[in-house]
Amino acid sequence: MRRVVRFDVGERLMHWSTAVLFFVLIATALPLYFPRVESFVGRRSLVAHVHLWAGVALPVPFVLSVLGPWGSNLRRDLRRCNLWSANEVRWLYSFGRRAQPVTDKFNPGQKLNALFVAGSIVVMLATGLIMQWYDFALTLRTGATFVHDVLATTLVVVIVGHVAFALTHPPSLRSMFDGTIREEWAARHAAAWLDEARGASDRR
């Protein structure tokens, strides 16, 4: 069975580096928010510093991956996530009850997930820095704390859903390890992208 490249090395490194940083952030947030966990872990100051710097580092894999010639595939995928057909919008509004549109590399749910996570990283970084920077007014810091906490909880739910989806779709998960996907899968789930990938391969 022929396979087609879905993610290059740079995209996979960016994905897994970001995943590791998210895991560190979730793991270090637990002692900061739950006293019982803190009493078990201890060293709150160290945990807080690790959490802070992991948050500051969170955008770094993306920024490094999107710069330069090595980021051409990632930049192309970003443009994909920002392009929505009318059928994709209708499919999303119907919560998947309408017929699945002919999809590009990503389906509407995957596009929405990517945009939400990217936007959340920006908001989490901004609110985290406001919380850390004591020169801000108390009301602003209180608001930033509320937004940070609510968005963090939402992100955890989204990430758990993302992991669960990946575990129940082995071909998609494997493509994030070796970068390739079966043409049969692509023809069924991403026909428009497969045609594009075949055309690019023929031009080489």
Identify the band that residue 89 occupies on the pLDDT scale cut at 50, 70 and 90.
confident
Tell whether the torsion through CA atoms of 160, 163, 35 and 131 is positive or negative: negative
- Averaged over 31-59, what is the pLDDT? 89
Give mean pLDDT, residues 119-147: 89
Please tell me the predicted confidence (pLDDT) of residue 121: 94
Q: Is 100 helix (H, G, I), strand (E, B) or coil?
A: coil
Give the predicted TM-score (pTM) of the model: 0.86
Beta bridge partners of 182: 3
Q: Tell me the domain boundaries of the chain.
A: 3-203
Which H or E element spans position 79?
helix 72-81
- Cβ proximity of 127 and 142 under 8 Å: no
Please determine, for residue 33, whether its predicted confidence score (pLDDT) is greater than 70: yes
Architecture of the domain spanning 3-203? Up-down Bundle (1.20)
Q: Give the pLDDT confidence score for residue 22 in this predicted structure.
A: 95
**Would the pLDDT of 112 be above 60?**
yes
Residue 133 φ/ψ, nearest 5 degrees = -90, 105
